[in-house]
Amino acid sequence: MTVAIGVDVGTTGAQAVAVDERGSVVATASSEYPLLTPRPQWTEQDPERWWEGVRAVLGSAAGEVAKGRHDVAGIGLTGQMHGSVFLDASGEVIRPALLWNDQRTAKQCEAITQLVGERRLVEITGNPALTGFQAPKVLWLRDEEPDAFARVEHVLLPKDYIRYRLAGEFATDASDAAGTLFLDLRRRTWSEEILVALGVPASWLPGVFESPEAAGSLAPDVAGELALGAGIPIAAGGGDNAAAAIGTGITRDGLMSSSIGTSGVLFAHADAPAIDPSGRIHAFCHAVPGKDCLLAVELSAGGSLRWWRDVTGADYATLVAEAESVPAGAEGLLFLPYLTGERTPHLDPQARGVFLGLTARHTRGHMTRALMEGVVFGLRDGLEIMRDLEVRPKEIRATGGGATASLWLHLQADVYGLPVHRLEIEEGAAYGAALLGHVAAGTFADVDEATSVVRTKPDVTEPDPRAAETYDEVHEIYRGVYASVREDMHRLAARAGS
């Protein structure tokens, strides 16, 4: 049996998933590594810890594959997007990598916007300058650590540093590169205009490949250490959201995934670039060659429910059961889930959470119901922007915690007004990376053939017409609340020192 191994360089740890040509998972392995927070709102990691984690999970998965007498034909890479790994001329790491959730670069984002132009930046890259992206991190290094900046010869994304260690190649893929602010979204290559404006040498950036293309092969010394065959092709891979979309089959028009984890993400396939001029949602290249995608990101989705669990001291099962007994609309109670600021649609790090409409008759169940509804209302804000851009999903595939509880499934179907499906196999981005590894190895001719192994469960959660009508009305109220309290949110944030 032919197997490909997908490797995910995540924020909290590395994961490997071995997948055969039927789409079955034959081995999994995971490891953890620490997150560094040297100052408030700074997040870093040591790339050497990534490498140690990847070696462990790749070696473990390869060992399980060997026990089953399978052949490893390819490797696919995915990982956290936007991070910056700085290497010197000898390929050594200069300093800890700055991560996607690092917030130190507000000044550099302002500088990028001024140098390129706000409208022009979105026209080229599909996105405004946000603190999480890679480009402002490069300028931060220039401004704040000039000695380290003077040593830079290569700038890599997290998964591409692992490729360098596995294969000795400097390469990336279009989907991950689209989250740097250096990529021309339509041309799917580095933007000379932006690089010149920011004073960043093109030679620092790796070659850009399409996700299923082979972009390196396993070096003999690493292959020997991991008991794998030398020369195994390594797919260019994809950013974590794009690779996850391969694993969930979001590869054609009309499909969208809805992920409710700590954060919430709507991911929709687009046959051509669909750019929101105001940059409220992300426009990236897809892991499907020549195709694009839209992402709406809510910073505190399942994170809001986790906060509520911790505050109340009740477990999830109790809270959800109480919420299920409350009617749609929570009898006039609303919740804005902006506990850690918000990205889509407000791009406001100072946005704050709100319960609105609270009365003495409301119970904990009402508040839980309003909270969960508010999370899905926030994601619907992103869906409405997609619809305005003529990207109109007809089917939702639920992933993460939002696929595990009946109430989450019904809320998504009713608030989106669309049928919600679940997947037979949900192994996250690493599963999609394994399918890309199969394409790079020639097991499948292309991504379409590879994703033919992705299957949904037979049960479908359909919208309830009465609940959907209620939620249409309540969502209209929800959409107007932020604008009415925005200034007060900011005044309170200032008083709190954030």
The answer on 257 and 188 residing in a single domain is no
Indicate the residue among 242, 270, 294 that finishes a domain: 242
The answer on 261 and 146 residing in a single domain is no
Per-residue confidence (pLDDT) for residue 498, from 0 to 100:
59
Name the pLDDT band for 496 (thresholds 50, 70, 90).
confident
The answer on 421 and 272 residing in a single domain is yes
The answer on 177 and 277 residing in a single domain is no
Which CATH number does the domain housing residue 310 bear? 3.30.420.40
The answer on 293 and 154 residing in a single domain is no
454 belongs to a structural domain: no
Catalytic residue among 102, 160, 240, 292: 240
Indicate the residue among 210, 242, 274 that finishes a domain: 242
430 belongs to a structural domain: no
The answer on 291 and 229 residing in a single domain is no
**H helices present in 325-464, as ranges:** 364-388, 406-416, 429-441, 447-450
Does residue 176 have an active-site annotation? Answer: no
Q: What does the pLDDT look like over 126-159, one tens digit per residue?
A: 999 998 899 999 999 999 999 999 999 999 999 9
| Tally of domains in the chain | 2
The answer on 347 and 222 residing in a single domain is no
DSSP states of 189-210: EE-HHHHHHHT--GGGSPEEE-
Q: What does the pLDDT look like over 256-315, one tens digit per residue?
A: 999 998 889 999 999 988 899 888 999 999 999 999 999 999 989 999 999 999 999 999
Do the Cβ atoms of 182 and 134 come closer than 8 Å?
Answer: yes
151 belongs to a structural domain: yes
Q: Is 113 helix (H, G, I), strand (E, B) or coil?
A: helix
Checking if the pLDDT of 83 tops 90, the result is yes
Residue type (1 letter), 150: A
Average the pLDDT over 414-420 and give the result: 97
The answer on 295 and 189 residing in a single domain is no
177 belongs to a structural domain: yes
56 belongs to a structural domain: yes
The answer on 301 and 175 residing in a single domain is no
Per-residue confidence (pLDDT) for residue 311, from 0 to 100:
96
Given the structure tokens 């998504």, which residue do they identify? Answer: 412
Indicate the residue among 182, 216, 242 that finishes a domain: 242
Do the Cβ atoms of 396 and 266 come closer than 8 Å?
Answer: no
367 belongs to a structural domain: yes
452 belongs to a structural domain: no
When the pLDDT of each residue in the chain is averaged and rounded to a whole number, the result is 94
The answer on 259 and 349 residing in a single domain is yes
CA distance 15 to 430: 7
Q: Which domain holds residue 58?
A: 2-242
The answer on 403 and 295 residing in a single domain is yes
Checking if the pLDDT of 244 tops 70, the result is yes
CA distance 440 to 169: 16
The answer on 482 and 380 residing in a single domain is yes
179 belongs to a structural domain: yes
